[in-house]
Structure 1
Amino acid sequence: MHCRYILFTLLLWTQTTIAYGQVDTSRSGNYDFNLANCIQYGLAHQNDVVNARLDVNFSQEQIKEYTGKFLPHVNVNGSLTDNLKLQTSLIPDIANGNYDKKIPVQFGTKWASAATGQVDQVIFNSDYFLGLKASRVYGDLSKKTLKRTEIDTRVAITKAYYAALAAEENIRLAKSNMTQLSKTLSDTKARYDVGVAERVDVDRIQVSYNNVVTDIETQIRDLVYAMQLLKFQMGMPQDNKLTLTETVQDLNADVFIADTVDYQVQDRIEYSIQTTQIALDELSLKSKKLGILPQLNAYVNYGFNYFSTKFGDLYKTGYGASALGLTLKWPIFAGTERYHQIQENRITLEKSRNTLRYIGDQIQLDVANANTQYQNNKARYVTQKTNMDLTQGIYDRIVLKFEQGVATSLDVTSAENDLKQAQVNYVQALLNTLTSKTDLDKAMGKIK
């Protein structure tokens, strides 16, 4: 048993140093973080947040793309033609006055080339104007989507952080129990050596001590996994060392879990996102309705034409040509296609409005459910905290009576088991309360 205690102490020291001991933050990849630091790191590195931020940049480029459609567009076209065999046409024999007779003639030259530059400018196009407005609304939607992703990331990191603190608290309480049991075991062995205690007393306390040692070994592994999960939620590489600078005591949970049920459905980002979706659907409907309007564009061009029977002489003489004009496209009637497209967009818009009402009802239900879970967990937390304090007092008195010879080892082990269970219940109730409070804050839209 002495050897096992030495090995356990070494394991405890090693795992504690790796998982949550003091580390040298001057080296790259070592971080001493509290909850705010973890969230800040996650908002900068977590994969979903990074991609959502890129989506915002993408939407900004789309806005610039639509803006560019209103700027002049310049194109240059060129051509080079080798007429291997000129086309033959039949025309009246005008030279000889014989109009009824057709004679074959060939027009053109073997070599021909042309170069033209043209500037096009949109004067009116309803699709362009609505597209620009829609792109801006889409940009707003991407920003709101980023905000929702950030909120989800904050919640995930917060829950993982609390789980890690709870795992640390489990280890702290278990180590406290181990210290108490170690002293009781040592005293009982001494009393047994002088014939005051029974062997059964030593064995019973030894069994309790062994169970505590195994529990701590298990809890250390749980803590290692909790830290791995926290780093994953933060977007931190697993080979980095993360040290938490807070404990459960630093949270001041009694103040932290105060009631704050005060919200509006508009505070939830999901409600705002759906409102933006309705704006996009309204623009889509408007675009279909304005599809009857004409499209007007202006253009100006200038170019040169070149002709020659020999390639070497082709570009010796150029013949300039230029034009300035307007083009009008007016879709007067396109069957019933546009009418049904308008109806489809109206239906889509109505569905979006129905979804907004549904989201409002769902938010109210989410808050009611989250508040119920929070109130239940908070009540359990208060009870379990009181029970743990009472059980600790009972255990201390039983140990004292055992040392005085008025209590049995069975009483000690029974009290120790009750204390251990009370501690487990307390930590679980604390974790459930903090987690459900986070869910309630999210449901009320208080996490920004």
Structure 2
Amino acid sequence: MDTTRGNYSFNLADCIQYGIAHHHDMVNASLDVDFSKEQVKEATAKLFPHADINANFTDNLKLATSLIPDIANGNYDKKIPVQFGTRFSSSASGQVNQTLFQSDYFVGLKAARVYRGLATKTRTRTEIDTKVAIIKAYYSVLTNQENIRLSKANLDQLRKTLSDTKARYDAGVAERVDVDRIQVSYNNGVTQIENQIRELVYTMQLLKFQMGMPQESNLELRETVKDLNVESFAADTINYRVEDRVEYGIQTTQIALDELNLKNKKMAYLPKLSFFLNYGVNWFSTQFGDLYKTGFGASALGFNLSWSIFTGTERLHQIRELGITLKKSENDLDFLTQQIKLEVQSANTSYQSNKATFVTQKTNMTLTQGIYDRIVLKFEQGVATSLDVISAESQLTQARTDYVNAMLNTLISKTDLDKATGRIQ
């Protein structure tokens, strides 16, 4: 992986585009598509002519001896030793073979093309998963940034209250216990922001990882949660088709492959027919220097037909096995359909609940902010205690936390719903 440090300023679309180009899984998925293309070419190449060249050289250090009747002297009962051949021999031949018909060639070619479609769909699924992971990590960064912004705003208010209380204490109109109580609350607020900053650093690292970006790079986001406009998210109606899910397409492609495997095994009963043409030259000599002076050519052409008439019952059982595999794949498609429907219902239920909670928590945070502001004002006027201020500040902190969590849950559940209904492609 390239670890060169870079500086990037991205929005969500930029993050997704970068991730599709650089994430580890996406790179491998693209390589799988390239691999499937080569498999199609490989299957096609099997239909082309195949040529072979063979050559050899032999030095018969000692010729083999055979016993034959003594025909020359008319003594057929007597065996005499003789040697046939020459000490040196050599040959070279070439042959071209062309398959004219073989059932698995044509079925295999079609299967290779279907497999290419499967690799493409698998890449699409990887792309969808990558997008979803990036979107969720992106939302986590934005909500953490918003949480820090709200915490700092609250801390600024608390800092002013602490400063005013110290001034009143110095003037003798406030007690030391009031200063200490507000100081404790302020210290907790500082520590809380420090922890939130650490969480933000981690979520940014996670976003880079999901994008396939080196951790050494500097990434800044050009958007905030206000740009997402979560409040405007409509209550989606469940309007989708299971066929829009890439998993459905993958399973139908698997069924097509199983059908081709079954067809291929059935067609294996058909014969194989091929054509051949060869030409060769032979050289013989008792002396090595004279070996290649005179050659004797030979050529032939013809057809080969092979047909497995009976192979026991092995092939029959293989056909039945592949038929069972096909039925399982079809059953898996039915199950996947029901699974998708249930997943959509679950994602929609979660989204609607989180959206309702978000609307409530946003209202609660606004109300709690108003309560806090009024309590602080009363405290400054001397009609409220420091305990009232601390209690109101604690409630505001909890309301802010609930609001940010509800926002993040709404964004994530909306993403899950879009994925379940096949809207993320």
Q: Which moved more, 1:436-445 or 1:89-98?
A: 89-98
Contact 2:262/2:322 (CA < 8 Å) preserved in 1?
Answer: yes
Distance 1:240 1:260 in 2: 41
Name the structure 1 match of 2:104. 127
Residue identity opposite 1:378 in structure 2: K
Distance 2:63 2:234 in 1: 92
Residue identity opposite 1:353 in structure 2: E
Distance 1:94 1:297 in 2: 46
Matches within 5 A, 1:305-324: 305-324=282-301
Residue identity opposite 1:414 in structure 2: S
Is 1:427 the counterpart of 2:404? The answer is yes
Is 1:210 the counterpart of 2:151? The answer is no
Matches within 5 A, 1:358-397: 358-397=335-374
Is 1:254 the counterpart of 2:216? The answer is no
Give the match's secondary structure for 2:54: strand
Is 1:289 the counterpart of 2:266? The answer is yes
Give the match's secondary structure for 2:268: helix
Distance 1:290 1:93 in 2: 59
Is 1:64 the counterpart of 2:15? The answer is no
Name the structure 1 match of 2:257. 280
Distance 1:403 1:261 in 2: 53
What is the Cα-based RMSD across aligned positions, in Å?
1.4
1:102 CA displacement = 4.2
Is 1:176 the counterpart of 2:147? The answer is no
Is 1:329 the counterpart of 2:335? The answer is no
1:381 CA displacement = 0.7
Distance 2:280 2:398 in 1: 92
1:94 CA displacement = 3.8
Matches within 5 A, 1:409-424: 409-424=386-401
Which of residues 228, 242, 251 in structure 1 aligns to 2:205? 228
Contact 2:5/2:216 (CA < 8 Å) preserved in 1?
Answer: no
Distance 2:43 2:119 in 1: 17
Contact 2:158/2:186 (CA < 8 Å) preserved in 1?
Answer: yes
1:87 CA displacement = 2.3
Is 1:84 the counterpart of 2:61? The answer is yes
Which of residues 380, 386, 400 in structure 1 aligns to 2:377? 400
Contact 2:235/2:352 (CA < 8 Å) preserved in 1?
Answer: no
**1:53-109 CA deviation, whole Å, 9 max, x = no partner?**
000000001111111111111111101111122223344444344555544332211
Consecutive unaligned residues in structure 1, runs of 5 or more = 1-26
Give the match's secondary structure for 2:252: helix
Residue identity over aligned pairs, in percent, reads 70
Residue identity opposite 1:425 in structure 2: D
Matches within 5 A, 1:41-60: 41-60=18-37
Residue identity opposite 1:437 in structure 2: K
**1:170-222 CA deviation, whole Å, 9 max, x = no partner?**
10000001111111111111111111222221111111111110000000000
Contact 1:257/1:434 (CA < 8 Å) preserved in 2?
Answer: no
Is 1:151 the counterpart of 2:128? The answer is yes
Give the match's secondary structure for 2:398: helix
Contact 1:257/1:437 (CA < 8 Å) preserved in 2?
Answer: no
Aligned residues: 422
TM-score, normalised to structure 1, is: 0.92
Distance 1:330 1:33 in 2: 65
Matches within 5 A, 1:180-199: 180-199=157-176
Consecutive unaligned residues in structure 2, runs of 5 or more = none
Distance 2:68 2:352 in 1: 100
TM-score, normalised to structure 2, is: 0.97
